[in-house]
Amino acid sequence: MKAMQEIKERIMQEFAASGAQPGDFLSADFMQKLNTSLERDDQECYQQAAAVLLEAGWISLGGTSLQLTQAGWEYLHR
């Protein structure tokens, strides 16, 4: 559970650090670094973290990347 929370935070921090606006995607470079940095066991945590963020409405899926939604942007700027 801790790993999933850390991955969720990394994803949202990357959106914040990049100055993302609603509709922006995480960079391919970040997605590649995230995927290669995860241990095999962490891949399931990543999927769970993405599912939680999707359910919260903070992100949407766009091909192989994650897209910031208006709700996610509002969360980052609260």
Domain 2-76 fold is Arc Repressor Mutant, subunit A (1.10.10)
pLDDT at residue 41, rounded to an integer: 67
Are the C-beta atoms of 65 and 28 separated by less than 8 Å? yes
Are the C-beta atoms of 16 and 30 separated by less than 8 Å? no
pTM, 2 dp: 0.80
pLDDT at residue 43, rounded to an integer: 78
pLDDT at residue 64, rounded to an integer: 77
Are the C-beta atoms of 12 and 76 separated by less than 8 Å? yes
Return mean pLDDT, the chain.
87
Intervals of the chain under pLDDT 50: none
User: pLDDT tens, 9-26?
Assistant: 889 999 999 999 999 999
